[in-house]
Structure 1
Amino acid sequence: MATFIILTLASVFMPALCDQHSVMESDDVIANYSYKSLTSVPSNLSLQTTILDLSYNFIQKLETKDFGYLLDLRVLNLSCNQITKMDSHVFDSNNNLVYLDLSNNRLENVSNSFPSNLRHLDISSNKFITLSVCRSFTNLLRLEYLGFSASNILKSDLEFVSHLRLQQVFIDLSGLYQYENSSLLVLNTNRLHLSSLSDQKDLFSVLFDAVNTSKFLELSKFGKWDVGKVYDGYISAIVNNSRVTHLSLRDLGLLWIHLIQILQKIWHSSLESLHVYNLTIQGFISKIYFDYSNTSVTELLFDHVAVEAFLFNQSDLYSVFSEMNIKNLTITNSNLLFMTCPLKPSTFEYIDFSKNAVTNDVFQDCSTLTKLKMLKLAGNKLQKLSKVSLMTEKMTSLQHLDVSQNPLDYTEEDCHWSSSIRTLNMASCSLPSSVFLCLPKNVKRVNLRNNDILEVPLEITHLINLEYLNLEYNRLSDLPDCTLFPRLMIISVEFNQVPYPSSESLKNCSGPKQINIANNPFHCFCEINTFIYEGKKNPGKFIGWPDDYVCERPEDFKGVRLKDFYLPEMYCNVFIMVSVIVVPIIVGLLLFLCLCKYFDIPWFLKMIWQLIRTKHRARNSKNGYQELRRDFSFHAFISYSENDASWVKNILLPSMQSINDIRICQHERNFTPGKSIVENIINCIDNSYKSIFVLSPHFVQSEWCHYELYFAEHKLYSENTDNLILILLEPIPQYLIPSRYFKLKALMKQRTYLEWPNEKSKHTLFFANLRAAISINLSESEQESSVSVPSVNA
């Protein structure tokens, strides 16, 4: 009981600076063998190992050979094993060792020397009867952290380390049996941590020396404390003799009345700050008078406070804290529901109620927090942004406000912020884009990380002082218009949905000195080239460039850094593409057309196509050859105008008759005397396998030619035979064909005709087409046909 009040009057503790992480380096080789059920140190460790963790195993003995080959070893953790013995020279080869943890083992004595470079040594929670082991520490001039424990703590033992300038000393008192007065006073340390305090008979002496040893004191693992056993003489002695300015208490449970008594004693001590962790308030809570005068306390922190009482007047609890005349008040992780407004002008400059259950009603209509500069309400149950703004309206000195991680909602109501706010944190609040309409007028730094912002409204005109804007983890598809914030220096849109910053947005954001647009799903197409150019031109402007800027699409470029992405300019510039691709294509086409025109390639293609079609039809006609052998006297009847007779006799007939003596029926030679012209025409057409018509402007002027064409066409449709061949000797414009020759017009439109080429190089292909059009096996027909036709000149 006495110990508990002594505890409250002790001074503040600061964490150790020399821990395992503080000595780690970037190039360390780490070997983690913790929780492996080992009974001895592994023998196959890498020679380059610098950090070795063997904690939580069953190792019982350390031998010289265990670490002798690990010359680079810097950190060694052997805590929580069953070590009972160590060779005296086990660490002789480990000159680089700076961190050694032998806590929670079964060592009874240590006779070996430790490397002189040690900065952290923990031998607490072993089975030492005395601290004679300290005789081995005289050479550890660089030691900063020392942890130990023993059944008997004697001043003579600790004098061996009194010359060491220790940053922190940790003492486990769980097995303490005897303590010699003034023993702790020989320690030269800035921070003292006493753990596992209980009702030992010498506890008052330990605490009395502790509060005079260091300005930073931490007391943890109290066990069961009965404040009723504490004597006023103990309390007065500690209060009057303490040099502690910072006290930290951990893991304790107190009745409400005892907590107030302890706070009252501390309030009139030399203490400047009190940190209490894992406190359980027990018993009935009632209103208790508290004297706030004459205090040196400036900071009070409660973390993880639990109240066992269910029914009590909340103002009895909260008013004790709200009326405190201190600068800094922190109550976190304590399910705090409310806080009363101070009844008179408060001295609070810093209030932190993070991770509680505070609602919109906190500090509403409160006009006494005029000196408050920083208010943290993160992780609570604030819902209305307009009410949060109204809460700050009378806080005329408020500069920093944190309401992040609250389920805030804003539906464009009027906002009434304090005009003094310069920094506002509203991260992780699910706020929409319209939140920009509710920001404080004079704010300089705004954190809107992890919200539901799609865009920054263009109607914003009041944020002329904004210098920093955090829009990470939202749903932006482009950089906002930075011209809305004329003094903006830094903007971050990391982890949004920006496929590529548009050229316009990059131009508008030329003012900020730094832009963070990293880790967005960049689409590596032509549109991103402008941004890549800006990134290479001003790499210092884009935070994280180039490693955090990689392609997401297309799949072929996924994971490629934008800096290494390259797409030829010709694919993205229309004018270059036209000049490089389209123009050559057009020129090539024109050149091709010119060549076609010069070499008359269309004509050749047309004739070849006709030849292929003609041969195809001939193959599909199964009885074509048999028809000539059985019924026909001539291979072909030829019809032409007398004006074209010279071409027929001198060119056409010689070329055709040179092919296996093909028989041609001519009206000059093969008309039968005594018959009428019409009868002769009909007989010649009927006795000829094919009818060839040489078309020309003269042909359409001949009456008899028209008759011949009429009868040949009649045979074409009546017998369903492909026996009509048209040769266009000269072009015949449609308007030159008399209207009465409508059948000739129809035939020229429906049937493919052979054009006579003037170029001699085309004649061979022309006659090949003509022969294929006749479609007769000339050699066979010649052998089997014995029909003789008289030569008649018509």
Structure 2
Amino acid sequence: MRYIRSIYIFCSIVTSVRSGASELPEERELTTNFSSMSLTKVPEGLTPITTTLDLSYNLLFQLQHSDFRSLSKLKVLILCHNRIQELDIKTFEFNKELSYLDVSNNRLKSVTWFSLAGLRHLDLSFNDFDTLPISVETGNMSHLETLGLSGAKIQKSDFQKIAHLQLNTVLLGLRTLSHYEEGSLPILNTTRLHIVLPVNTNFWVLLHDGIKTSKILEVINIDQKSQFTSYESQQIPILENAKTSILLLNKVDLSWDDLFLIFQLVWHTSVEYFQIQHVTFGGKVYLDHNSFDYSNTVMRTIKLEHVHFRIFNIPQESIYLLFTKMDIENLTISDAQMPHMLFPMYPTRFQYLNFANNILTDDVFKKSIQLPHLKTLILKDNKLETLSLVSHFASNTSLRHLDLSENLLQHENDENCLWPETLVTMNLSFNKFADSVFGCLPRNIQILDLNSNKIQTVPKAITHLTSLRELNLAFNFLTDLPGCSHFRRLLVLNVEMNLILSSSLDFFQSCQEVKTLNAGRNPFRCTCELRDFIQLGKYSEGMMVGWSDSYICEYPLNLKGTQLKDVHLPEISCN
């Protein structure tokens, strides 16, 4: 499933990735970096060919008209995190090539406008404006793509001045918000809208209007002052003319009732992908959570990540069922300290489930779960113990990809396993598996990760894995290179960091299809038994990963520390 990152770009991120002149796209471009130098004014004598000037994180409080006059080639100017109180855009009238101007995170209270026709990125967010710093000249910047704004008051008349601009991104980085005129945001014409709220802000109207504004909407800093439950009859208004298909909420601290109402609001809009990160909820519960209306939605994906619970008096089962009854394609609830999960008794259409970084136990599989369309299941970093139990659950699905890494899983020889024929990728790394795990593997597996377990040998009496292409046995306790007689089509083998002393005849006879071998960082015994393996490393033309630095003799003592490539074992002496 596609991963969608947060789309809010901080000045600190921009400055952290600034590059040297050698990485700039054109020749003769120069980046000059004066960041974090406690400067109180712009340095004199700047090189005229400077194209990128970084003055962020200083103590600048005023800009002079002469500061940048000589920089005719200047394209990027970063002034964020200073103490500038007034900005005259005419200061940059001689910088005809200027396309990126960041004056965010200052103390700006006023802007004197001047049209910079070539500007594509202008960031005035996180400043001290009383009203939004927008003028007619702003609307004349026809190439503008990204616009960052701030202001204690937001009203329609301000946005109407730039309503004709086709913007890619608008960022509202607000330090305070004393007034918002309903209907202001939808005036904007932008693909992405990011709103960073000050603390204790009622975000209800902003969320409502934001969904009617842009395809991608991100809101950061949502707290308990939302006052959802104070609305009469707690009725959720129907959103007409919704545009948002991707909704991202970050740093959320609400009552469970508020969160419930947000989900109900979003459920009946145009939102297809809904992600909430760093969410805390709890408190008293007043709403009937069985009243959720699951009808009429285009929702496909819900992700809750980094979830924290306060004490509250609603059974957790009600929370689990609220989400699993949503019956969407993709559901993620990760890093939530979730001890259990419940599903409805009827079949659901989930294709992707991610419950990583929780505390789920085997109990989750002890009740019948009907997931006939499930293709990907991620249960990484939980408390699962019995592999066969997982296999019986999986047998009733269409599972193709399974991640059970970082659990407490084991397998006993007398336990029967029953996997679906569809399963092709499996991650069993960082568990407690011994050799017996090879008796509980899917017949059609193609990619298998068993690294960081307790495996000593690959048993000879196991099912032939005729489809296996990649096998990772790194960080185990193997003492010999395993043969491939049970997986004849193996192409990639990783046995790095085991206890391998020498290669086996079985490996050379049965692993002829292997194209990539990682056997580095093993305690090799550099005797005649290893001669063929050394020859393979020398003449295999890149087949062996990490050759030759990771292939070092441990024994005999007179060769300890010698790279295998430097060991000379004449054929005549070995015969």
- TM range, smaller chain: 0.7 to 0.9
1:573 to 561, 570, 574: 570
Amino acid at match of 1:458: K
Amino acid at match of 1:572: L
Contact 1:362 1:391 in 2 (8 A): no
1:366 to 1:37, Cα distance in 2 relative to 1, 3 A: farther
The 2-side partners of 1:46 and 1:549 are apart by: 47
The 2-side partners of 1:416 and 1:45 are apart by: 71
Match of 1:228, SS state, is helix
Per the TM alignment, residue 365 of structure 1 is displaced from its structure 2 partner at its CA by 3.9
The 1-side partners of 2:399 and 2:491 are apart by: 23
Residue aligning to 2:307? 305
Residue aligning to 2:463? 461
Name the stretch that deviates more: 332-341 or 171-180: 171-180
1:447 to 1:576, Cα distance in 2 relative to 1, 3 A: closer
1:391 to 1:235, Cα distance in 2 relative to 1, 3 A: closer
**Paired positions, count:** 558
Contact 1:449 1:471 in 2 (8 A): yes
The 2-side partners of 1:510 and 1:72 are apart by: 60
1:514 to 1:413, Cα distance in 2 relative to 1, 3 A: same
Amino acid at match of 1:269: T
Confirm whether residue 242 of structure 1 aligns to residue 242 of structure 2.
Answer: yes
The 1-side partners of 2:67 and 2:394 are apart by: 64
Contact 1:539 1:545 in 2 (8 A): no
The 1-side partners of 2:418 and 2:31 are apart by: 52
Contact 1:185 1:209 in 2 (8 A): yes
Contact 2:469 2:490 in 1 (8 A): yes
Matches within 5 A, 1:404-443: 404-419=405-420, 420-443=422-445
1:241 to 1:423, Cα distance in 2 relative to 1, 3 A: same
Per the TM alignment, residue 288 of structure 1 is displaced from its structure 2 partner at its CA by 3.2
Per the TM alignment, residue 374 of structure 1 is displaced from its structure 2 partner at its CA by 1.4
Name the stretch that deviates more: 253-262 or 367-376: 253-262
Matches within 5 A, 1:664-675: none
The 1-side partners of 2:381 and 2:207 are apart by: 38
Contact 2:151 2:176 in 1 (8 A): yes
Please identify the structure whose Cα radius of gyration is greater: 1
Confirm whether residue 389 of structure 1 aligns to residue 383 of structure 2.
Answer: no
The 2-side partners of 1:196 and 1:144 are apart by: 22
Per the TM alignment, residue 103 of structure 1 is displaced from its structure 2 partner at its CA by 1.8
Residue aligning to 2:61? 60
Match of 2:333, SS state, is strand
Per the TM alignment, residue 171 of structure 1 is displaced from its structure 2 partner at its CA by 0.6
1:355 to 354, 357, 360: 357
1:93 to 1:545, Cα distance in 2 relative to 1, 3 A: farther
2:517 to 502, 515, 518: 515
Residue aligning to 1:335? 337
Residue aligning to 1:27? 23
1:233 to 1:413, Cα distance in 2 relative to 1, 3 A: closer
1:539 to 1:136, Cα distance in 2 relative to 1, 3 A: farther
Matches within 5 A, 1:728-747: none
1:373 to 1:532, Cα distance in 2 relative to 1, 3 A: same
Amino acid at match of 2:297: T
Contact 2:169 2:191 in 1 (8 A): yes
Confirm whether residue 15 of structure 1 aligns to residue 17 of structure 2.
Answer: no
Per-residue CA shift, 1:37-85, capped at 9, x if unaligned?
Answer: 5545677999999877654443334457877888998766543332235
Match of 1:539, SS state, is coil
1:193 to 1:508, Cα distance in 2 relative to 1, 3 A: same
Residue aligning to 1:149? 150
Residue aligning to 1:190? 191
1:149 to 1:503, Cα distance in 2 relative to 1, 3 A: farther
1:530 to 1:110, Cα distance in 2 relative to 1, 3 A: farther
The 2-side partners of 1:74 and 1:190 are apart by: 24
Contact 1:365 1:391 in 2 (8 A): no
Residue aligning to 1:590? none
The 2-side partners of 1:310 and 1:200 are apart by: 23
1:162 to 1:392, Cα distance in 2 relative to 1, 3 A: same
Contact 2:477 2:498 in 1 (8 A): yes
Per the TM alignment, residue 359 of structure 1 is displaced from its structure 2 partner at its CA by 0.5
Per the TM alignment, residue 126 of structure 1 is displaced from its structure 2 partner at its CA by 0.9
Per the TM alignment, residue 266 of structure 1 is displaced from its structure 2 partner at its CA by 3.0
The 1-side partners of 2:479 and 2:75 are apart by: 49
Per the TM alignment, residue 130 of structure 1 is displaced from its structure 2 partner at its CA by 3.9
Residue aligning to 2:252? 252
Matches within 5 A, 1:85-484: 85=86, 100-111=101-112, 120-132=121-133, 143-153=144-154, 155=156, 157-158=158-159, 161-162=162-163, 164-179=165-180, 182-196=183-197, 206-223=206-223, 224-231=225-232, 235-236=236-237, 238-284=238-284, 288-309=290-311, 313-393=315-395, 395-419=396-420, 420-484=422-486
1:31 to 1:452, Cα distance in 2 relative to 1, 3 A: farther
Residue aligning to 1:684? none
Per the TM alignment, residue 399 of structure 1 is displaced from its structure 2 partner at its CA by 1.7
User: RMSD over aligned Cα, in angstroms?
Assistant: 4.4
The 2-side partners of 1:158 and 1:291 are apart by: 35
The 2-side partners of 1:559 and 1:161 are apart by: 69
Structure 2: gaps spanning 5 or more residues: 25-29
The 2-side partners of 1:498 and 1:145 are apart by: 57
The 2-side partners of 1:165 and 1:30 are apart by: 30
Contact 2:236 2:264 in 1 (8 A): no
Higher strand share: 2
Name the stretch that deviates more: 79-88 or 239-248: 79-88
Per the TM alignment, residue 361 of structure 1 is displaced from its structure 2 partner at its CA by 0.9
Per the TM alignment, residue 335 of structure 1 is displaced from its structure 2 partner at its CA by 0.8
Residue aligning to 1:597? none
Per-residue CA shift, 1:443-501, capped at 9, x if unaligned?
Answer: 22111232233332233333222122222333445532123212223223344455675
Matches within 5 A, 1:552-591: 565-566=565-566, 571-575=568-572
Q: What TM-score do the two structures reach when normalised by structure 1? A: 0.60
The 2-side partners of 1:231 and 1:91 are apart by: 52
The 2-side partners of 1:119 and 1:559 are apart by: 57
Per-residue CA shift, 1:149-194, capped at 9, x if unaligned?
Answer: 1234455554565555433221124433444565433433211112
Per the TM alignment, residue 116 of structure 1 is displaced from its structure 2 partner at its CA by 7.1
Name the stretch that deviates more: 395-404 or 30-39: 30-39
Residue aligning to 2:27? none
The 2-side partners of 1:54 and 1:518 are apart by: 47
Per the TM alignment, residue 362 of structure 1 is displaced from its structure 2 partner at its CA by 0.6
Contact 2:327 2:350 in 1 (8 A): yes
Per-residue CA shift, 1:16-56, capped at 9, x if unaligned?
Answer: 58963787688379887766655456779999998776544
Contact 1:14 1:216 in 2 (8 A): no
Per the TM alignment, residue 229 of structure 1 is displaced from its structure 2 partner at its CA by 2.8
Match of 1:362, SS state, is helix
State, as a whole percentage, how many aligned pairs show the same letter: 37
The 1-side partners of 2:131 and 2:312 are apart by: 48
Contact 1:550 1:559 in 2 (8 A): no
1:560 to 1:572, Cα distance in 2 relative to 1, 3 A: closer
Amino acid at match of 1:15: I
Contact 1:264 1:291 in 2 (8 A): yes
The 2-side partners of 1:506 and 1:116 are apart by: 68
1:30 to 1:577, Cα distance in 2 relative to 1, 3 A: farther
The 1-side partners of 2:88 and 2:102 are apart by: 16
The 1-side partners of 2:369 and 2:23 are apart by: 56
Match of 1:368, SS state, is coil
Per the TM alignment, residue 379 of structure 1 is displaced from its structure 2 partner at its CA by 0.8
Contact 1:341 1:363 in 2 (8 A): no
Per-residue CA shift, 1:383-425, capped at 9, x if unaligned?
Answer: 22233323323x3312211111112233334242322322111
The 1-side partners of 2:326 and 2:523 are apart by: 51
Contact 2:365 2:389 in 1 (8 A): no
